[in-house]
C-alpha cells in the first residue's frame, strides 16, 4: 500500500458481519453499537433477555441486527451461534467474546462450583466460539477475533481468584490463537478495560472511600465511560489493524502505569 492510498475507509466495517456475545447490556452494548455505527451487521447471543430500547442505537445505524437467546455455555450453543450468523448473514467476519461474570469471594470461601461456573462463561465459551469461528474464517482468509480481557489479565486482586485466572487465561488464549491463525490473515487481539462507570461498579462508586481509592490509581483522574472503548473496538475490528495481532490493548486511563 502506498501512503496516499490510506483513507478513513480503513476504519469502515460496511458489509461486515459481527457476533458480540453479551452485546445487549453493559460494555457489550457499547461494543455492538460501535461496530454497527461503523457499518457492521450485528448478531448478539445472550442469556439476558432483550429489553425494549436496549439496542435502539444499533438498529438506528441502519444495519441488520438480531438477538439470539442462547446460553453460550451449553455444549451445542457455540457451534449454533456461528452457524446462525453464516446462515443469516453469509459470513462471520468479527467475533467479540465479551460475555463474562465476576463472583468475588475470599480464597477460603471460593468453591469449586463457583470456579467451574466462571471458567465456563469467561474462558471455555470464548474458546468454543473462537474454535468454530476459525473454521469459517480460515477458508475466507480473513477475520477478527477480539477477546474482552481485563486489568486482571495482568494483575491479581483479592477476592477474585477465578476472575483473575480466567482473564489471564483469555490473554494467553489470544496470543496462542494469533500464533496459529495470523498466517490466514486472521487477527486475534484483546481489549482490557480499566475501571468503568457501569452498573457492576455502582457500589464501589457510591462508597466515597472506595471510589477515591480507585480514582487515586488512575492518572486520568476519572472512571471510564462506555464510549471510551468504542474507538478501540472499531480499530481492532477494521482493516486499520490488519498488522496488529496477539496484542492486549488496555483502555484504562493509565491505571497500569501507576
Catalytic residue numbers read 163
Q: Is the dihedral of CA 59, 43, 228, 212 positive or negative?
A: positive
| Whole-number Å distance between alpha carbons of 156 and 168 | 9
Neighbouring CB atoms inside 10 A of 177's CB total 23
User: In which element (H, E) is residue 144 found?
Assistant: strand 143-148
Neighbouring CB atoms inside 10 A of 194's CB total 21
User: In which element (H, E) is residue 235 found?
Assistant: helix 230-237
- Spatial neighbors of 138 by CB under 8 A, at least 6 apart, are 181, 184, 186
Amino acid at each position: 500500500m502506498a501512503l496516499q492510498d490510506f483513507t478513513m475507509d480503513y476504519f469502515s466495517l460496511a458489509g461486515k458481519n459481527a457476533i458480540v456475545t453479551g452485546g445487549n447490556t453493559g460494555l457489550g452494548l457499547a461494543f455492538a453499537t460501535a461496530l454497527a455505527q461503523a457499518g457492521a451487521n450485528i448478531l448478539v447471543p445472550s442469556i439476558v433477555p432483550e429489553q425494549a430500547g436496549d439496542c435502539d442505537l444499533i438498529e438506528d445505524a441502519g444495519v441488520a441486527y438480531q438477538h439470539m437467546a442462547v446460553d453460550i455455555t451449553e455444549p451445542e450453543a457455540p457451534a449454533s451461534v456461528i452457524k446462525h450468523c453464516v446462515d443469516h448473514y453469509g459470513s462471520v467476519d468479527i467475533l467479540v467474546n465479551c460475555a463474562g461474570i465476576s463472583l468475588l469471594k475470599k480464597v477460603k470461601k471460593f468453591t469449586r462450583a463457583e470456579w467451574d461456573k466462571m471458567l465456563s462463561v469467561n474462558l471455555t465459551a470464548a474458546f468454543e466460539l473462537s474454535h468454530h469461528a476459525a473454521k469459517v474464517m480460515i477458508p475466507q482468509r480473513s477475520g477478527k477475533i477480539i477477546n474482552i480481557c481485563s486489568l486482571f489479565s495482568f494483575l491479581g486482586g483479592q477476592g477474585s481468584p477465578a476472575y483473575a485466572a480466567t482473564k489471564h487465561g483469555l490473554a494467553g488464549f489470544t496470543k496462542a490463537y494469533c500464533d496459529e491463525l495470523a498466517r490466514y490473515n486472521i487477527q486475534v487481539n484483546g481489549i482490557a478495560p480499566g475501571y468503568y462507570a457501569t452498573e457492576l461498579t455502582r457500589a464501589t462508586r457510591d462508597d466515597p472511600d472506595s471510589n477515591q481509592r480507585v480514582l487515586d490509581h488512575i492518572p486520568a483522574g476519572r472512571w471510564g465511560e462506555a464510549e471510551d472503548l468504542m474507538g478501540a473496538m472499531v480499530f481492532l475490528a477494521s482493516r486499520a489493524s490488519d498488522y496488529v495481532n496477539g496484542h492486549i490493548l488496555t483502555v484504562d486511563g493509565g491505571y497500569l502505569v501507576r
